[in-house]
């Protein structure tokens, strides 16, 4: 298996732990990721607020590079994933915006063939559907008995163009962890509730409140680890946790992991390999060696 890897700005910055664990996990599973050379920012949510079309033009440039590589794209960041899908959707529908994207690419002399558009994939979907959970479980060498995982999907990943899971009640991550034999708080009702995104940096009160609700409910349901899928959710829940504790008079200290950390640990990667050093709250794995089935 071979994919064009589109990291996005977060995975090179604050989401470094995500990139480390993803790359090492996929390497261990023999899934080859080749970084898209000279990729540019997807525009995140801000380009939509200022000039949506230009954001989509930029995204289309990445599509074109991946197309020249002849590979499908893996986008681990939720915002990148959504924007890539948005651009693909517009081009496929051939609406006003889609036609404009093609014209803009032509104007900038960027070659692009609209009849063959690379598919946009998410690492979670690749693990569960393409690689397959059965194969993954055969590779498991560590069982993680102490974990009570709260799967938190965040908002952007499942909406509104995603094809791989339900828009408001996704279950892919629950399924993945359950197959690895860990306990999962699968009735966590806030699994797709927004973490506030950049509100923690702009209007802090609102951002803190939204993240407080997420943490409080995770603890109340007996979670001892929150598994995330998005670098921004991870950033908010982890980096603002001490602020939330101070503001609401609580003690949490709950480790926030990426789903790649948990899978990586289960197949026997070391803490260093999956980038646990880059986390603020280290998880207590409570690992036991397990016979390879």
Partner 1 sequence: MEEIRPKIKFEQQLKRDFSYKVAETLWGKNVFTCIQCGNCSGVCPTSIYMDYTPRRIVAMVREGLKEDVLKSTTIWLCSSCYSCTAHCPQGIKITDVMYGLKRMAIEEGYYPKNFPIPILAKDFYDMVRENGRITEFVLATKLLIKTGMRRVMAYMPVGMNLWRTGRTSLKKEQISNKGRKELKKLMAFQGGVGR
- Please report how close the Cβ of residue 168 comes to partner 1 at its closest, in angstroms: 6
**What residues numbered 72-131 form the site for partner 1, per CB under 8 A?**
95-97, 100, 103-105, 107-110
* Token digits of residue 12: 């090179």
* Token digits of residue 59: 């995204």
Instruction: Work out whether the CA dihedral 218, 174, 74, 283 comes out positive or negative.
Output: positive
**What residues numbered 231-250 form the site for partner 1, per CB under 8 A?**
238-240, 242-243
* Token digits of residue 34: 């080749």
- Of 38 and 113, the one with the shorter C-beta distance to partner 1 is 38
**# of chain residues touching partner 1 (CB under 8 A):** 66
Looking at the DSSP assignment, which residues form a beta bridge with residue 151?
227
**What residues numbered 160-219 form the site for partner 1, per CB under 8 A?**
160, 167-168, 192-194, 196-199, 201-204, 206, 210
Which one of 35, 129, 145, 277 is in contact with partner 1 (CB under 8 A)? 277
- Of 5 and 177, the one with the shorter C-beta distance to partner 1 is 5
**What residues numbered 28-67 form the site for partner 1, per CB under 8 A?**
38-41, 43-54, 57-58, 61
Short-list 112, 100, 92, CA closest to 56 = 100
- Please report how close the Cβ of residue 215 comes to partner 1 at its closest, in angstroms: 14
* Token digits of residue 130: 């393409």
Termini Cα distance of the chain: 23
- Of 132 and 201, the one with the shorter C-beta distance to partner 1 is 201
* Token digits of residue 84: 């890539």
Which one of 139, 159, 216, 250 is in contact with partner 1 (CB under 8 A)? 159
- Please report how close the Cβ of residue 93 comes to partner 1 at its closest, in angstroms: 10
Q: Distance of alpha carbon 227 from its chain centroid, rounded?
A: 10
- Please report how close the Cβ of residue 41 comes to partner 1 at its closest, in angstroms: 5
Residues that bind partner 1 (CB under 8 A): 9-10, 12-17, 38-41, 43-54, 57-58, 61, 95-97, 100, 103-105, 107-110, 155-156, 159-160, 167-168, 192-194, 196-199, 201-204, 206, 210, 238-240, 242-243, 277-280
């Amino acid at each position: 298996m071979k994919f064009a890897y589109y990291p996005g700005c977060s995975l090179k910055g604050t989401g470094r732990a995500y990139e480390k664990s993803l790359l090492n996990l996929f390497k261990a599973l023999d899934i080859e990721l080749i970084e898209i050379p000279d990729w540019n920012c997807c525009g995140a949510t801000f380009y939509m607020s200022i000039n949506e079309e230009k954001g989509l033009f930029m995204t289309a440039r990445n599509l074109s590079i991946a197309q020249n590589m002849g590979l499908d794209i893996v986008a681990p960041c939720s915002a990148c994933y959504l924007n890539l899908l948005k651009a693909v959707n517009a081009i496929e529908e051939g609406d006003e915006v889609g036609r404009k994207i093609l014209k803009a690419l032509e104007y900038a002399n960027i070659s692009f063939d609209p009849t063959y558009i690379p598919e946009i994939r998410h690492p979670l979907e690749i693990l569960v559907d393409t690689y397959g959970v059965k194969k993954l479980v055969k590779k498991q060498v560590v069982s993680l008995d102490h974990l009570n995982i709260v799967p938190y999907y965040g908002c952007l990943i499942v909406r509104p163009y995603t094809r791989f899971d339900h828009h408001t009640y996704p279950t892919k991550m629950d399924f993945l962890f359950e197959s690895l034999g860990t306990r999962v708080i699968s009735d966590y009702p806030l699994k797709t509730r927004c973490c506030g995104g950049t509100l923690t940096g702009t209007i802090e009160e609102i951002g803190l409140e939204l993240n407080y609700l997420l943490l409080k409910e995770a603890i109340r349901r007996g979670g001892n680890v929150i598994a995330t899928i998005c670098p921004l959710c991870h950033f908010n829940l982890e980096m603002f946790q001490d602020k939330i504790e101070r503001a609401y008079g609580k003690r949490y200290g709950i480790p926030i992991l990426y789903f790649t950390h948990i899978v990586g640990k289960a197949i026997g990667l070391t803490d260093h390999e999956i980038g646990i050093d880059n986390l603020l709250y280290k998880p207590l794995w409570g690992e036991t060696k397990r016979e390879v089935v």
